[in-house]
Amino acid sequence: MNDVANECISEKLDDYTLVRVRGEVDLSWSQQVRRAILDALGATGKVGVELSQVSYIDSSGIAALVEGFQNARGKGQQFGLIGASKPVMAVLQLARLDKVFPLFPDLDAARAG
Amino acid sequence: MNASPLALAGAEERRALGFLADLSESLAVSLDLRETLDMAVTRIAAFMHAEAASLFLLDAASGVLECRICVGPVDINGLKIAIGQGVVGRCVAENATQIVREARSDPRVNANVDAETGFATRSILCAPLATARGVIGALEVINRRDGGLFDEDDAEILRLVAAPAALAISNAQLAYGLVEQQRIKREMELARKIQKSMLPKRRRGAFPLLGVNLPAHEISGDFYDFFDLPDGSLGFVIGDISGKGLDAAFLMVRVAGLLRWVGKRAPAPAAWLAEVNAELCKTLTEGRFVCAAVGIYDRVTRVVTFASAGFPPALLFGAGSFEELLADGPPLGILAEASYGERRIALGDRALYLFSDGATDVRDAQRKTLGSDGLRQIILRHATLAPEPRLRALLGDLKRLHVVDDTTLLLLQEPGGKSAQPLLDLHFPARAGEMRAVRAALRTALDAQELGPELRDRLVLAVDEACTNIIRHAYCGECDQRISLQLVREHDMLTFELRDSAPRVDPARLIARDLGECKPGGLGIPFINALMDEWKLEPAADGRGNVLRMRKRIGTGGHE
């Protein structure tokens, strides 16, 4: 999984915006991830960040997720993390944010939630 | 033919049983089997009223029967017959008694023998010498003296008298084989001792050369040697003879002697190899060659001059990384005009590992070879040990795998240098884009310490957070200034040392927010607090830049 190229793609599925993140999220491009999340929240509807292909995330990546969460909450928008990989979960637990973010196992659960 | 002795007529039966008991006893107590068998065959001929009798033994390897004992008018001692041929050959092949009543017209009978000897064969009986190990030969009687023909009763008697003869011969053969095996084993043991005595004795005190030789069998085709030179420097040699076994071991003794004899005059290593090569090319038999490396080490300057003749790449290890030293020319004994390069290496505190290909040929349970990468992993794993325990640990790891070839290791390293060799020593520009490669290198270095993936990932995160803090807050953004990262292990303590050349950072300015507070940013230091046992930021001793040292104690078993 360490060889996955860094990538961040947004998809619109009806009223749901899915931000798919892959690779190692670190300072070198966490601003791009942050921008994609904030852009997704600019539209109406629910937003989910898919993290199953993320093999590493540092505090700047976590900061981007936190900012997205706070932004959504301020606007009463639904925001969740989907399929968080083991490395992502470990860092969320370390930051004690695993109980803060709505976490969904997959896209269907996130859209229903 | 399968009639029991009881089926024989009364008086004849008693005579046969008496003879059999007698014969069995003399064979069982015999101290000189050859003499006893001679006498037994004579007695069997007399008892059977035969003109001639002979005993053939089988050479299992060649499948040829040879007449070993013979009584009668014609001496056929040494006569050889292939299994399946003639009466004797067929008897052994079929493990069945043969009766020939009319020799002249029987296709089994080889008429050439009579033609050559002038003997007239009329009637033949031949019984196999059968043992639990199979048929080992045959017992043959020829022509009844009374002119009559051998019958089924005679065949039965011969079959019975053949049994104790077969047993006695078989026991004697087994005993001889055992004695022979013991003799060879004793001699191999002696050869091994002599070989071992040729390896140099371990020197007392702080000595920079250490060697081990692990033969795959009793004897080895590998060797190493080191000796003092007149100017106070040290000569050393390691070699591997092509092939295995006794001939390789004999050759090893000769080549080791030659390398030492030439080396004592302290020629430059390239000339040293060239001289030994020229000599070996004159005398080595076809297809034999020797891979060897030689060197001279100056303990004062810590410079080693080194040359390799087809020997596996030597590994120079220092500051967490390996340098491979390829051979400087072909193996010895192939090309008389071969010339060799040599190189001078400022060894300093580094370690030079020389190992025969047996070290990389060890197999795991899946028969997969260890290879050069596997060997490097093992060296890395024990990198923090002092040279002597490290070599022992290396050998221990190799022995736990399956050693298929002679394995020899020679380690050159000045002892008592820095006790803690860095496991990683990286220098990179202060750019976020560098961090992915830094993390990968750190993962590899930590994996060699067998920490387990969870602890490894936590430590990688802490180092990454520290580096990004240096980029963002010490250098105030990405730039081409350097960050250096050293990882050192002392016993179970890992130390991560990060150096920068940024303006001095006041440690008091670093504020750690509480974890669990949900806001973006400021997580780096809390992460480091949570992941490391302790950390300290100080100005560098030379006044340029900052030094951050983070420590983590790792428990046994690799987990926290």
Is residue B430 within 8 A of residue B480, CB to CB? The reply is yes
CA atoms of B227 and B297, how far apart (whole Å): 11
Nearest CA in chain A to B469: A27
Strands B422-429 and B546-553: unpaired
Strands B98-100 and B124-131: antiparallel
Partner-chain contact A27 B468, CB within 8 Å:
yes
Partner-chain contact A28 B521, CB within 8 Å:
no
Partner-chain contact B521 A70, CB within 8 Å:
no
How near does any CA of chain B get to the CA of A60, in Å? 7
Quick one: three-class SS letters along B198-247? Answer: HCCCCCCCCCCEEEEEECCCCCCCEEEEEEECCCCCEEEEEEEECCCCHH
pLDDT at B444 over 70: yes
pLDDT at A113 over 90: no
Mean per-residue pLDDT, B98-125: 85
pLDDT band at residue B506, thresholds of 50, 70 and 90? confident
Considering CB atoms only, which of A64, A69, A94 is closest to B530?
A94
pLDDT at B416 over 80: no
Predicted local confidence at residue B359, as pLDDT: 78
Between chain A and chain B, the number of residue pairs with CB atoms below 8 A apart is 70
CA atoms of B459 and B95, how far apart (whole Å): 77
DSSP letter string, B325-363: E--SBPPBTS-TT-----EEEE-TT-EEEEE-TTTTS-B
Partner-chain contact A26 B436, CB within 8 Å:
yes
Partner-chain contact A26 B443, CB within 8 Å:
no
Highest mean pLDDT among B30-34, B107-111, B556-560: B107-111
pLDDT band at residue B3, thresholds of 50, 70 and 90? very low
Interface test with A, best of B455, B518, B528, B532 (most A CBs within 10 A): B518
Mean per-residue pLDDT, B265-280: 92
How near does any CA of chain A get to the CA of B489, in Å? 25
Interface test with A, best of B442, B461, B471 (most A CBs within 10 A): B461
Is residue B140 within 8 A of residue B63, CB to CB? The reply is no
pLDDT at B329 over 70: yes
Interface test with A, best of B434, B436, B467, B479 (most A CBs within 10 A): B436
Instruction: Return the structure tokens found at B288.
Output: 């034999």
Cα dihedral B77→B78→B79→B82 (10° resolution): 140
Partner-chain contact B454 A24, CB within 8 Å:
no
Considering CB atoms only, which of A28, A67, A70 is closest to B435?
A28
- Which is more confidently placed, B523 or B135? B135
pLDDT digits over B183-228, tens only? Answer: 888 888 888 888 888 888 888 777 899 998 888 777 778 899 999 9
pLDDT band at residue A104, thresholds of 50, 70 and 90? very high
Is residue B122 within 8 A of residue B103, CB to CB? The reply is yes
Predicted local confidence at residue B2, as pLDDT: 46
CA atoms of B58 and B297, how far apart (whole Å): 61
Percent of chain B with pLDDT over 90: 39
Give chain A positions within 8 Å (CB) of B468.
26-27, 58-60
Predicted local confidence at residue B517, as pLDDT: 62
Mean per-residue pLDDT, A51-61: 95
Instruction: Return the structure tokens found at B333.
Output: 């004994």
pLDDT band at residue A68, thresholds of 50, 70 and 90? very high
Percent of chain B with pLDDT over 70: 93
Instruction: Return the structure tokens found at B274.
Output: 């060239």
Highest mean pLDDT among B71-75, B130-134, B465-469: B465-469
If one counts every other C-beta atom within 10 angstroms of the C-beta of residue A56, the result is 24
pLDDT at A2 over 70: no
Beta strands across the sheet bearing B546-553: B422-429, B482-490, B493-500, B546-553, B534-539
pLDDT band at residue B287, thresholds of 50, 70 and 90? confident
ipTM over 0.85: yes
Considering CB atoms only, which of B440, B530, B531 is closest to A2?
B440
CA atoms of B360 and B324, how far apart (whole Å): 14
pLDDT band at residue B9, thresholds of 50, 70 and 90? low
pLDDT at A78 over 90: yes
* Run of H or E including B390: helix B387-400
- Which is more confidently placed, B361 or B99? B99
- Which is more confidently placed, B269 or B115? B269
Partner-chain contact A27 B530, CB within 8 Å:
no
Is residue B430 within 8 A of residue B438, CB to CB? The reply is no
Predicted local confidence at residue B559, as pLDDT: 40
Interface subset of A 52-111, CB within 8 angstroms of B: 56, 58-60, 62-64, 66-67, 69-70, 87, 90-91, 94-97, 100
Is residue B538 within 8 A of residue B545, CB to CB? The reply is no
pLDDT digits over A7-49, tens only? Answer: 999 999 988 999 999 999 999 999 999 999 999 999 888 999 9
pLDDT at B501 over 50: yes
How near does any CA of chain B get to the CA of A106, in Å? 24
Of the listed ranges B19-33, B336-350, B403-417, B459-473, the least confidently predicted one is B19-33
Predicted local confidence at residue B464, as pLDDT: 96
Give chain A positions within 8 Å (CB) of B524.
59
Burial letters for B368-381: b for 16+ Cβ neighbours within 10 Å, e otherwise? eebebebbbbbbbb
This prediction's pTM: 0.48
Beta strands in chain A (DSSP E): 7-13, 16-25, 46-57, 79-82, 103-104
Check residue B362 and give left, alpha or beta (phi > 0: left; psi -120 to 50: alpha): beta
Predicted local confidence at residue B22, as pLDDT: 81
Predicted local confidence at residue B214, as pLDDT: 83
Mean per-residue pLDDT, B335-345: 91
Give chain A positions within 8 Å (CB) of B461.
56, 58, 91, 94
pLDDT at B481 over 50: yes
Partner-chain contact A95 B435, CB within 8 Å:
no
Give chain B positions within 8 Å (CB) of A56.
439, 457, 460-461
CA atoms of B29 and B217, how far apart (whole Å): 39
Of the listed ranges A51-65, B89-103, B168-182, B341-355, the least confidently predicted one is B168-182
Nearest CA in chain B to A87: B457
pLDDT at B527 over 70: yes
Cα dihedral B99→B102→B103→B106 (10° resolution): -80
Predicted local confidence at residue B30, as pLDDT: 67
Partner-chain contact B520 A63, CB within 8 Å:
yes
How near does any CA of chain A get to the CA of B523, in Å? 6
Nearest CA in chain A to B433: A28
Considering CB atoms only, which of B433, B439, B516 is closest to A56?
B439
Instruction: Return the structure tokens found at B177.
Output: 């084989």
Amino acid at position B36, single letter: T
Interface test with A, best of B523, B527, B531, B532 (most A CBs within 10 A): B523
pLDDT at B465 over 90: yes
Strands A7-13 and B134-144: unpaired
Question: Average model confidence (pLDDT) for chain B?
Answer: 86
Strands A79-82 and A46-57: parallel
Predicted local confidence at residue B1, as pLDDT: 43
Nearest CA in chain B to A68: B520
Is residue B87 within 8 A of residue B109, CB to CB? The reply is yes
